[in-house]
A and B are shown apart, each in its own frame.
Chain A
Amino acid sequence: MSALIEFQEVCKVYRMGDSEVWAADHISLVIHRGEFVAIVGQSGSGKSTCMNIIGCLDVPTSGTYLLDGRDVGSMNKNQLAEIRNKLLGFIFQQYNLLPKLTLLENVEVPLLYAGVPKPERHRRAQEALEMVGLGDKLRNKPSQLSGGQQQRVSIARALVGKPAVILADEPTGALDSHTGREVLRLLQQLHDDGNTIVLITHDNSIATQAQRIIRLEDGAVVYDGDAHAPEAVVTAGAIGTGGAS
């Protein structure tokens, strides 16, 4: 397995007036191709910062982030946009579908910016929607769907560009537990198909669906290991250690 995502001493510092906030404090981690990793942490733990950096929406203040061997920290905005387009698939908590577009058009958006010609765009978007079980609703608008269905559309949209990493930010956060489980099953299925999935959540029960858990607290990694180990679901603070593995 080759390293797909590699953080070397990644720091992210925000200035709040006079004080500095270390949202990421020397984080080092490696995620390999084909892994299903959950990044867990309470709010303020730095998991959103971590996700933004992984998702190339933000660049680290210091340290190195290598995505597929490429140094992302030194890229300009256009290069980052290209990386997001080609290597990353986003699944958001609020689905973030474009309300005025049909499902097909929504799923086509990443391909549109990738410059894929129209017939191929249609075909691939349709395939992706069929894969998530919405092949019969191509011309519907997002508002005509339930939350679970909308999240499936956003999964289709994340998949359609065949990205290296699928980045899911609290994908079940807005869903009831039943549809949440369905979405997780879908992610599990994508993982079984060989996709690399990074799941960001605050919920231990969801995190345990992954193979591996990376727990963040105050901008630092406090646990990184098997999702099914007993210490994985206990916060580091609770067992009184400052760092783990």
Chain B
Amino acid sequence: MSFFESFGLAIKNILSSKMRTFLTMLGIIIGVTAVIVIVGLGNGMQNYMKDSFSELGTNTLTVSIPGRGSSRSVSVDSMYQLVADNPQQLDKISPTVTMSGTVKIETETADSTTVTGVSEDYFQMKGYGISQGRGLNYVDVAQRKDVCVIGQYLNQAYYAGGAVGQTIKFNGTKLTIVGVMSQKSDTMEEGGSDDCIFLPYSTAARLSWTGTISSYLITVVDENQAAACKTLVEDYLYGIFSDENAYSVTSMAEMLDTMNSMINMVITILAAIAAISLVVGGIGIMNIMLVSVTERTREIGIRKALGAKERSIMQQFVIEAGTTSALGGILGIALGFALSSAASVIISTLMDSSMSVTPSMGSVLMAVGVSVGIGVIFGYLPAKKAARLNPIDALRYD
């Protein structure tokens, strides 16, 4: 008897007792559904994290150099030189000078506006667009010009969209607005990421009376090599300070990796717990198959009398168990996908976030493989019992 004929027979038997088959499959259905939804949730979380981090830039290193007293320091030029010396790893650099002070537009004061001194490359490094006017350029930085680029919020709120050419006052210094940035966040609000001012770092250093710049943003060529680039910068800084506390380099990609591996671990543990129900489901299949062998003793006797070999009987029962649990697996996948999209909708409405539960192809394949495997493994014992039945006893069985 060929595999396909055994398969047809299995389908026929399964269909002849739908309720029982469904109850038998339930364990597998629940197990597969749980695994798929949990892995989907994990994927969703990872994607959400990745999106959030990539807004911050996963290809960036944030370098902070508090220094070690006044004895040693690192100059802006030497940091630029470091990037220029390592074109394979490091792409661009921008000093970042965070400033505090009062921002005045005409007579109004903007309290929550962030003011940062940056280089001409900064906008490109962060992927910020310029919607009006121009960005900062080399001349602005080199000549410490009193110019700035402002966020869209300020443009809309204070200049009615026509800020370019106007002026803004920071700590009493009049800055000329040369450009307006494209809108960054969905909702423009006070204190948001569109409520900002960028000026040349050289100007910023002059205005805040700081001789040394202690914070830099560096972009790396390949974000998968972020860890190596981080080490490169650290090694350079250690060479200057010989003290690990004098500087710190943070890689967004590395933080994302750490976060991902944590999520993965949690998901693996949860999925393993869910997988226990697959084992329980397998035992349910074994139980029903054992009952089925007893019920069908006479049928087995008849088949053997008519020439069925042990292998054929065995094959019939193993395929039946495998098919039952594979069907359970398929239903579980369908249910898993349905629950995943339901969960996505619920999460996005209740928690006001865009996280979506995305079941992975891997988890689906694994679910099918595991459920068929479980059926075959747990169907083996009952099938063996069936195949071993003595045809005379089996024919006499009532």
Cβ of B301: which chain A residues have Cβ within 8 Å of it?
A: 96
- The CA of A161 and the CA of B308, in the complex, are separated in Å by 13
Query: How far is it, in angstroms, between the C-alpha of A96 and the C-alpha of B302 when the chains are bound?
Result: 7
A81-B307, A90-B306, A112-B5 given; A100·B392 CB < 8 A = no
B299 to chain A, nearest CB (A): 6
Question: Could you give 10 example pairs across A and B, Cβ below 8 Å?
Answer: A78-B311, A81-B307, A82-B307, A84-B307, A86-B307, A96-B302, A100-B12, A109-B302, A110-B306, A113-B1
B1 touches A115 (CB 8 A): yes
The docked-state distance in angstroms from the alpha carbon of A81 to that of B12 is 24
Q: Interface size on B (CB < 8 Å)? A: 22
Say yes or no: B306 contacts A58, CB within 8 Å: no
Contact of A98 among B299, B304, B392 (CB under 8 A): B299
**Footprint of B on A, CB under 8 Å?**
52, 55, 57-58, 77-78, 81-82, 84-86, 90, 92, 96-98, 100, 109-110, 112-115, 157, 161
Chain A residue at minimum C-beta to C-beta distance from B312: A113
The answer on a CB contact under 8 Å between B391 and A100 is no
Q: Nearest-CB distance from A185 to chain B (Å)?
A: 24
CB distance from B301 to the nearest CB of A (A): 8
Measured between beta carbons, the chain A residues less than 8 angstroms from B308 are 81, 85, 113
Q: Please, how many angstroms separate the alpha-carbon atoms of A58 and B395 in the complex?
A: 13
Interface residues of B, Cβ cutoff 8 Å to A: 1, 5, 12-13, 16, 298-299, 301-312, 391-392, 395
Total number of residue pairs linking A and B with CB closer than 8 Å: 61
Question: Roughly how many angstroms separate A113 CA and B309 CA in the complex, as a whole number?
Answer: 8
3 closest A-B pairs by CB: A85-B307, A113-B307, A81-B309
Given contacts A78-B309, A109-B306, A113-B1, contact A57 B299 (CB under 8 A): no
Q: A1 → chain B, closest Cβ, in Å?
A: 26
Verify A55–B1 contact, CB threshold 8 A.
Answer: no
Contacts of B391 in A (CB 8 A): 57
| Chain B residues within 8 Å of A96, by CB | 298, 301-302, 305, 395
Are A52 and B299 interface neighbours, CB within 8 A? no
**Quick one: which of B16, B306, B395 contacts A157, CB cutoff 8 A?**
B306
A55-B305, A78-B310 provided; 5 other pairs, C-beta below 8 A?
A85-B308, A90-B306, A109-B306, A114-B307, A157-B306
Within the complex, the shortest CB–CB distance from B216 to chain A, in Å, comes to 77
B392 and A109 contact, CB distance less than 8 A: no
Q: Which of B304, B307, B308 has the most CB of A within 10 A?
A: B307
Closest to B6 in A: A112
| A84 & B305 in contact (Cβ 8 Å cutoff) | yes
CB distance from B214 to the nearest CB of A (A): 82
CB distance from B390 to the nearest CB of A (A): 8
Residues of B contacting A82 in the complex (Cβ-Cβ under 8 angstroms): 307, 309
